[in-house]
Copies of this chain bind each other. A is one copy, B any other.
Amino acid sequence: MPLQDYMHIISVDDHLIEHPRVWSDRLPSKYVEAGPQIIEDEQGHHVWVYEGKRYPYIGLNAVAGKKFEDFGMEPVRYEDMIPGCYDPVARVKDMDIDGVQAAACFPSFPGFGGNVFHRANDKELALACVKAWNDFSIDEWCGSAPDRYIPLGILPTWDVDLCVQELERIAAKGARTVSFPDAPTMLGMPSFHNPVWDPFWSALEHHQIPLSLHFGSGGYVPGFNYSSAALSPNPPAAGDSPYAVAIAGFATNLMWSTLDWVFSGQLQKHPDLRIMLSEGGIGWLPYISERAHETWSRHRWYQDIDKATDPADLIRKHFYGCFISDYFGVKNRHEIGIDRLTVEVDYPHSDSNWPNSRKILAEQFVDVPDDEVHQMVELNAREVFRFPRSEG
């Protein structure tokens, strides 16, 4: 038994579906109408409406509990999903069934990194929406079971000063990580290379809050067929890529994010910043580290790149990876760094093994010593998210 009963599983990447009153319960009354609201459309589907626009998929890819054969049917009403998708009390019961102790839960309607609010027209309303989501996430969702949920926040990414202010606010009430776009420039934001973010990175260091970069949180999934590679359940056009191509290539987003960071010069200025690569797998990290090192060895002389710091060392120091199933990554775990690996469950999405997460993880650890398994499934996540086991 390489995955022992005493080891908790801490998932660094799960997803919650917002219930219909997340914003209407919290926004100032003047904003309730323009803020996100669930309506029932002509087809009887539950859809979000925000600033007059409809967002048709309430529970993108929320297929927990379905057979593989039944995937691809997007839930169109709340009752199409199991309650654990949107009810934190029901979720804990599902985590118990799955043998999972705690989880960090990303947003759904706002986008993994809050890009819906980033793109909004009324930025005062958008800021109120970000705050409302954070209050919901930290107070209502995580507050319902503080030892089971790792408080995760989002940010008003269109303004660095607002980011700092909101970070201060949510740090004070217990945020342990923030989701940030993996590809900021795709949202029109300054890149990771841009020193404009400096005060925000400093604030993260000060509060010991790691960034969680979820693939696709920049509103972009790479792929050569944009029409089908977008995060959309629409069937691809004839002769276009099936969505499987995008799914299989998710990690490439985070390869770019990682490379952007380590060639940005920012990590040298922010030695205590930590970055979680959410839902990116791990088996590619040694290749990308070696390639970053090789690129730096040859090409740093004529480019505006730190001449003294090897980017492979920056990856080793600042980045954490996570996996659901990654035999090749587990086999090469020491090439990445056993203290930088964590696991995820991805409930309720289609890559999740719920209710068999513990079993599927255990199968990958057959040849792994107990202490290393313990680090990967529990201890590293507790350390990076400052989320210790509760007493007793």
Contact = CB atoms under 8 A, between A and B. Distances in A.
Given A68-B297, A225-B185, A297-B68, A243 B287 contact: no
A325 interface: yes
A249 B292 CA distance: 8
Contacts of A222: 222, 252, 256
A72 B300 CA distance: 10
A167 interface: no
How many copies altogether? 2
A244 B351 contact: no
Contact of A242 (B251, B256, B303, B327): B303
Interface in A138-159: none
Contact of A193 (B72, B239, B290): B239
Given A299-B247, A303-B243, A225 B191 contact: yes
A69 interface: yes
A68 B301 CA distance: 7
A326 B196 CA distance: 36
Contact of A72 (B69, B72, B73, B303): B303
Interface in A176-226: 183-186, 190-191, 193-196, 218, 220, 222-225
Contacts of A196: 239
A235 to B, nearest CB: 8
Given A194-B239, A287-B281, A255 B256 contact: no
A76 B238 CA distance: 45
Given A239-B190, A248-B292, A283 B281 contact: no
Contacts of A292: 248
A71 interface: yes
